[in-house]
Amino acid sequence: MTTFLFAGGGTAGHVNPLLATADRLREREPDAHVLMLGTAEGLEARLVPERGYELLTVPRLPFPRRPGPAALRFPSSLRRSVDLVRTVLRERRVEVVVGVGGYAAAPAYLAARAERRPLAIHEQNARPGIANRLGARLTSFVGVTFASTRLPHARIVGMPLRRELERVDLPAARAEGLARFRLDGTRPVLLVTGGSTGARSINETVAAAAPAIIGSGWQVLHLTGSRSPVADPGLAGYRILEYCDRMELALAVATLAISRAGAGAVAELAALGVPGVLVPYPVGNGEQAVNARDLVEAGGAILVRDADFTPEWIETLGVQLLADRAGIADLAARAAAQGVRDGADRMVDLVLDARDSAAPTPTVGLAG
């Protein structure tokens, strides 16, 4: 039995692939023992115990980006976290460390190096985070979602997806989804989503342009998220939900999607062959635009800046796109060609390669 420590979290973008990889590892090695390392403040504090894993925590320790008291305290705080994880590795007899980035990842990477434990990491985003830029220098077992990701030793594994997404039977899921969402199977469906919390600009723009979309012969399945709901325009063929717990069904019914460009969203659209109008989140370091780049350059999606995504854009260029069914079919084929459905298995292969790299070489005796 091998004991693995999975480290990282903070956001759904980190936690979901972490859990998908851990779940697949336990399917393939039922006697494996999996521990999780995160923070008490991250999303993992809720999702990890819900999935049945033991969660160990370290203090949330942001990397200081400018001089000041926090920068002066950082080295000693990091050292304490590393020492804490080293103790976990020894006392719990952890044999392999797996990281996905986030606040808990860097201490785990440094502890694995200090304790000579094999390390495997996964980077979700096209633009790597600080922790994984560090981790990639400490191991040769580095999995990435996007071909354009620049990390040492990178191996393209894709995004580890939830089982219901990677193994979905699309025709059956489409039939179930049409019934569940009360949609007409003879008309194309525009899926609109900004993620679990929503995207205010996408929600408001689509709702304002709803008459033009419906008037072009399409239906809309609009997932608003929890933080930026909009009023239901009350049009026939316009379905509005705050949250969807069967995302595989929503993707299966979609002819085209309007979405943010988080790494998970981009990977899921490609995996199920859904072409997208990707509207990257305009705040931060621009990582969503970078996430979209590979799929856009492959012809599987269209990129629209948030500032340009207006009701007027939908009523002109958007309606032209909706009318071009052959063009949308070509986008779909190109998206599917970029998709990876077996990312969880590929990542588990990488983790097991890391483990096997540390196995002692058998001694072969010579007959005498």
| pLDDT tens, residue by residue, 284-321 | 778 899 999 999 999 999 999 999 999 999 999 999 99
Q: How far is 240 from 210, CA to CA, in rounded Å?
A: 11
Report the pLDDT value the prediction gives residue 71, as an integer from 0 to 100: 67
Note the pLDDT of residue 85.
96
**Average model confidence (pLDDT) for the chain?**
91
The CATH label, of 3.90.550.10, 3.40.50.11540, 3.40.50.2000, 3.40.640.10, for the domain at 3-162+342-357 is: 3.40.50.2000
pLDDT at 64: 65
Residue 360: pLDDT band by 50, 70, 90 thresholds? low
Query: What is the location of CATH 3.40.50.2000 in the chain?
Result: 3-162+342-357, 168-338
Cα R_g (the chain), whole angstroms: 22
- At 367 the pLDDT is 40
- On the question of pLDDT at 272 being above 70, the answer is yes
Can you tell me the mean pLDDT for 245-270?
95
pLDDT band at 198 (very low <50, low <70, confident <90, very high): low
| pLDDT score at 225 | 82
pLDDT in tens, 85-123: 999 999 999 999 999 998 899 999 999 999 999 999 999
Facing residues of 33 across strands?
3
Residues 190 and 277 sit within 8 Å (Cβ to Cβ): no
Q: Which CATH superfamily is domain 168-338 in?
A: Glycogen Phosphorylase B; (3.40.50.2000)
Position 283 scores a pLDDT of 81
pLDDT of 368 above 70:
no
pTM, two decimals, is: 0.89
Give the CA count within 13 Å in the CB-facing half-sphere of 208.
Answer: 13
**CA atoms of 3 and 58, how far apart (whole Å):** 19
CA 356 from centre of chain: 27
Is the Cβ–Cβ distance between 241 and 259 less than 8 Å? no
What pLDDT score was predicted for residue 361? 45
The proportion of the chain whose per-residue pLDDT surpasses 90, expressed as a percent, equals 78
Over residues 23-41, the pLDDT tens digits come to 999 999 999 999 999 988 8
pLDDT above 80 for 171: yes
Other C-beta atoms lying within 10 Å of the C-beta of residue 233: 17
Three-class SS string for the chain? CCEEEEECCCCHHHHHHHHHHHHHHHHHCCCCEEEEEECCCCCHHHHHHHCCCEEEECCCCCCCCCCCHHHHHHHHHHHHHHHHHHHHHHHCCCCEEEECCCCCHHHHHHHHHHCCCCEEEEECCCCCCHHHHHHCCCCCCEEECCCCCCCCCEEECCCCCCHHHHCCCHHHHHHHHHHHCCCCCCCCEEEEECCCCCCHHHHHHHHHCHHHHHHCCCEEEEECCCCCCCCCCCCCCEEEECCCCCHHHHHHHCCEEEECCCHHHHHHHHHCCCCEEECCCCCCCCHHHHHHHHHHHCCCEEECCHHHCCHHHHHHHHHHHHHCHHHHHHHHHHHHHHCCCCHHHHHHHHHHHHHHHCCCCCCCCCCC
Q: List phi, psi (to 5°) of 196.
A: -65, -30
